[in-house]
Amino acid sequence: MWNTNSGLTESHPYDSHPSSWIFMRRGINFWGKEHRQIYLIGNPLTWWSSTFALFIFIVAKSVLILRAKRGYKDHFNSTIVHFDSNASFLFVGWFLHYFPFFLMKRQLFLHHYFPSLYYAILLIGIGFDLFTIRLQKRERYIAATIFLLAVIYFFSIFSPMAYGNPWIKSECQSAKWLNTWDFNCDQHFDTYDQFYNEDLKNVDQANIITKTEDSISLDDNNQKEPHNVSKDDVDQFDMAMTREKDDWITMGWVNNHYDLSRYGNIYIHVQGGMTEANCVLFHRSNL
């Protein structure tokens, strides 16, 4: 594993330097197709708040060290001791997971920062506890709720890139807050109606029945009375659908059984080509 990682020295379109991770200057493009995309990027509020918490800790720790040098007895203050001990532990955890990447020569990506990010996010809680300690409990709950709601709101803005959901070009462009975020907005539709029309078009194409010479007409004159197939035949049909992994047209349904007798030889058009339904123990003469 060490040799493999050491050999990954070539540049990559989405690699990044560790110094940019704390500011989330770049993400990683994973997939883009059918006017959708999956792009790795963090929640800006959570990410940048964790970076702010790191700087606040560094400043606060420096002040405490200077005050100790001048003879102040901050170590008798239980609130400061609680903050200093817990925040120092989290900062050390963040540093040990972050600094070693500066010594590596291999390709590095934003996701390598995730272990350090975990410690930095926990540091937000320590800082919040310190700065709101003089507030009433109800006021602290309100402040925490506002922050959490803001996190959810920011998540909703960028969630289409996390799940590959429909997203329009204008919303994508408005979400590109940094010019270093290189997700592609041009591939998206201009309106959501275009997404829905495209989905309907794909459904229609997947359910086209193509008639052949030995298939019978599906009009009312050529249909026979419904005739229930046996349970074994239904089980075979279910197995065929599972095995084909394709879109099958919905067959007649009578008394909890598939009714195929009215259709005779049926050919179903799927993306992989023509699939003959009667090849799986469904020949008309056997019903």
> pLDDT tens for residues 104-141?
888 999 999 999 999 999 999 999 998 898 899 999 99
Q: Which of 100-104, 220-224, 242-246, 270-274 has the least mean pLDDT? A: 270-274
Domain boundaries, position 281: 210-286
Element (H, E) at 154: helix 137-163
**What was the pLDDT predicted at 252?**
39
**How many CA atoms, within 13 angstroms, populate the side-chain half-sphere of residue 87?**
26
Report pLDDT for 168: 94
Q: What is the pLDDT of residue 1?
A: 58
User: Which of 168, 193, 218 is a domain's end point?
Assistant: 193
Residue 187 near residue 37, CB atoms below 8 Å: yes
- Per 3-state DSSP, what percentage of the chain is helix, strand, and coil (rounded to 5)? 55, 10, 35
Question: What does the chain come to in residues?
Answer: 287
Is 116 a member of any domain? yes
Higher pLDDT, 73 or 115: 115
Number of domains in the chain: 2
- Domain-embedded: residue 170: yes
Q: Are residues 126 and 263 in the same domain?
A: no
Q: How far is CA 118 from CA 29, 123, 145, 178, 261, in A?
A: 22, 9, 21, 23, 61
DSSP conformation class of 264: B
Q: Residue 211 and residue 265: Cα distance in Å, rounded?
A: 9
Please indicate, yes or no, whether residues 169 and 41 belong to a single structural domain of this protein. Answer: yes
More confident residue, 115 or 245: 115
Q: Same domain, yes or no, for 45 and 113?
A: yes
